[in-house]
Amino acid sequence: MQIHSLIPELRAALQNRGRIAIVPTMGNLHAGHIALMTQARAHGNTVVATIFVNRLQFGPNDDFDRYPRTFQADCEKLAAAGVDVLFAPGEADLYPEPQQYHVDPPEIQHQLDGAFRPGHFRGVATVVLKLFNIVQPQVALFGKKDYQQLLVLRNMTRQMALPIEIVGGETVRADDGLALSSRNAYLSGAERAEAPRLQRLLKHIGTAICDGNRDFVGLESEAVGELDRNGWKTDYVAVRRQSDLQVPQAPEEQALVVLAASRLGVARLIDNVEINAASGH
């Protein structure tokens, strides 16, 4: 596996490498990331992973300084997964001058997760567009755990007419259902045992909707109440349309997703469950 931190060197290394599939990450890799690397192999001749902890997407009260950085272990995992090229720029490589041009997503950036992390999706979209311009991939893969991020990036790619296919990878979970996340490392032992409750509640909402319950607000409130009674501090539990993450307007809408973000101790966990009510799943 080649490792590059400088943009000119990376571009030279990617000349004549066929169809390129990119998997952008912030490092501290887990099995969910590696599943995307494996999936990427089916989409390209050359698999490029990136590791960059992007300051632009962190707010003043976020965990930029303590975000886990495990570069050597990450490199070993990527090499074992068959990744061809790793792009791991320093901050001065990617932002050699203050970033004054930004990608400003539409109103969706201020909803759901964006309501609690102002500027987050602006920072994500800006760095991803920059990575796309540097690597020039034909395919890019992102995990569905970050459902809103996937929607923002897919819409950005389409509206900017970028010749890139966006592929969403299914959420990888521990045996007890907890979605894998770098931030799970913040959980204490007792919190880790409690954490799977989040997915169980989302699945419960999905089952209720498939059984005909269309009281979305009631289902959301019930879930928040159970989380709060068990020591969580919940930002939101929300039923939305899969297509645009807006509130369902018609009772017959079937392709839905229930999303949540809640804090357990110092760890802020996000998760989602897709609901296809017509098929009962």
Active-site positions?
A: 33
**Six-digit token string for 77:** 């995992």
Strands ordered across the beta sheet of 165-169? 2-4, 85-87, 46-51, 20-25, 139-143, 165-169
Residue with tokens 């973000």: 261
Extended beta strands in the chain, E state:
2-4, 20-25, 46-51, 85-87, 139-143, 165-169, 233-241, 255-264, 267-276
44: left (phi over 0), alpha (psi -120 to 50) or beta: beta
User: Contacts from 33-39 at CB under 8 Å and sequence distance 24+?
Assistant: 33/77, 33/143, 34/77, 34/81, 35/169, 35/170, 35/172, 36/141, 36/142, 36/143, 36/169, 37/78, 37/81, 37/82, 37/83, 38/81, 38/82, 39/141, 39/167, 39/169
CA angle 52, 55, 61 (to 5 degrees): 130
